[in-house]
Amino acid sequence: MPLQHLYASELSALCTKVQPFPVASPEVTTINHALRSELGLEGLLPNEHAILQALFSPEGTLQENSVAQKYGGHQFGHWNPQLGDGRGLLLGEISTPQGELIDLHLKGAGPTPYSRHADGRAVLRSTIREYLASEALHSLNIPTSRALALINSNEPVMRESLERGAMLIRTCPSHIRFGHFEYFYHANEHEKLDELFSFCFAHHFTQEAKSENPYLALLTSICVSTAKMIAKWQAYGFNHGVMNTDNMSIHGITFDFGPYAFLDDFVPNYICNSSDHGGRYAFNQQPSIGLWNLNALAHAFSNKLNVDEIKQALATFEPQFLSAYKTEMFARFGFTEAVLTAPENTTDEDSLISLSNRFIQLLSEESADYHGSFRRLSESFNDIKKGNIDGFCDTFLQLNEMRDWSKQYTTLIESCQANITQQDLLGRNPKFVLRNHHMQDAIEKAENGDFSTFNDLLKVVTRPFDEHSDLHALSLAPEDSDKGIALSCSS
């Protein structure tokens, strides 16, 4: 499959040509075979040797036209124009067998003009975390960039301490961020901003380009996809941790993994980023920050849309978020769209909202394990459906309150009249989520050359709803001393 260089050729003034700088003794540790097949890349990247040759040999197909992109961003609410691909390179684009345009990108590729005197490297720790997170989110049907290959090395890289350098080939529809538009708008480089808009319409938002008002359609599309993505984050207890506008994708995908975490105990204001002293990016702040970021992006549309049109686009965020969140949460209790649209269904939405909110409130009041509680609910469903609620309720401190909730749940199941099955719940509430304490174990072993726990974690988060009885330990919640781990942005 031929590699294209659309961004590099059509937007050459918005990027800088840079070739990857090899790490010491590179070794392809992991290839995402399923993704490689899905993208039709078996011919271009058939094996580990071919990947290294394509990246680092003089005739390598993945390095001959690689570029670093320029952008800015609001970081913790403050505008910073001095950003760009400081360690990543866009290798090019491919057209998949399904006709989709996909970026190939190398993270940890070495210094670029935007590195700001940094080494341009990624470390094995953060590379493992991004690889696992992207596959975990994908398996939960949460839009995300994805990892194609992990490259380990013997190169020492200094962060808080000396670590092993690594690289990641990742894929997504494009690496265009809110910060791309913001940079060229705030720099008053309107001709380059127009080129960026034209590129997006030509290659990524072709339907919006046909609209009567393409710019309104584009901003609206970004608002809607962002709202739906964040709704899934909230429903599945995912805290991104560093929602700067340079980490926000115009495609509504989870992007640029830093100190992220899936919740352990349900603590609504949980902060996974140890650098986030004010809690700007706490779990329960993510929807409002998403809208804040969209407002920041909307300034770049101010020469294309009037104030009312911008308000119209931004006004789609809240209803889209609430609708998507309700859909996800209802489904976790078995009330899927198929169930709710069945002719025999008589359940009203207000009752389902009350059911969902009360369950979340009870989890919050006793800081119960978020994912474990939903999985126990799934495993106890047949008993609850029959009115046998004690087995489930006895696992909670607020026994009487949870009994009352379970009776409400049973009543709604009966009034629904549609056939909700235990499998409906088991297929929505994962047994395995990517817990930080398990990842820490995998990282420590991998830094000593043992990738067994990494591979085990990859197996279970790729199929998170399966039992994997031989790997049951990876489903366990952490001990109190390992709960709520907060990590730094350093990677």
Residue-wise pLDDT for 146-191, tens only, equals 999 999 999 999 998 999 999 999 999 999 999 999 999 999 999 9
**477 burial type by CB count under 10 A (0-12 exposed, 13-18 middle, 19+ buried):** middle
Active site residue 265: no
Instruction: Determine the Cα–Cα distance for residues 36 and 40; give it in Å rounded to an integer.
Output: 6
pLDDT of residue 342: 86
List the structure tokens of 214. 């393409």
Q: Which residues of the chain have pLDDT under 50?
A: none
DSSP type of residue 94: E
Q: Which of 246, 256, 369, 456 is catalytic?
A: 246
Amino acid found at 55: L
pLDDT of residue 100: 95
Q: Which residues have a Cβ under 8 Å from the Cβ of 216 and sit 6 or more positions away?
A: 305, 309, 312, 313
pTM, rounded to two decimals? 0.97
Instruction: Determine the Cα–Cα distance for residues 215 and 209; give it in Å rounded to an integer.
Output: 8
pLDDT of residue 486: 85
Contact 167, 151 (CB under 8 A): yes
Question: CA-based angle 144:91:210, to the nearest 5?
Answer: 60
- For residue 300, what are the β-bridge partners? none
Contact 164, 24 (CB under 8 A): no
Instruction: Determine the Cα–Cα distance for residues 169 and 163; give it in Å rounded to an integer.
Output: 19
Tell me how far apart the terminal alpha carbons of the chain are, to the nearest angstrom. 32
pLDDT of residue 491: 59
- Look at the alpha carbons of 391, 392, 396, 399 in this order and tell me if their dihedral is positive or negative: negative
- For residue 101, what are the β-bridge partners? 95
pLDDT of residue 343: 85
Instruction: Determine the Cα–Cα distance for residues 355 and 29; give it in Å rounded to an integer.
Output: 46
**25 burial type by CB count under 10 A (0-12 exposed, 13-18 middle, 19+ buried):** exposed
Q: Which residues have a Cβ under 8 Å from the Cβ of 338 and sit 6 or more positions away?
A: 418
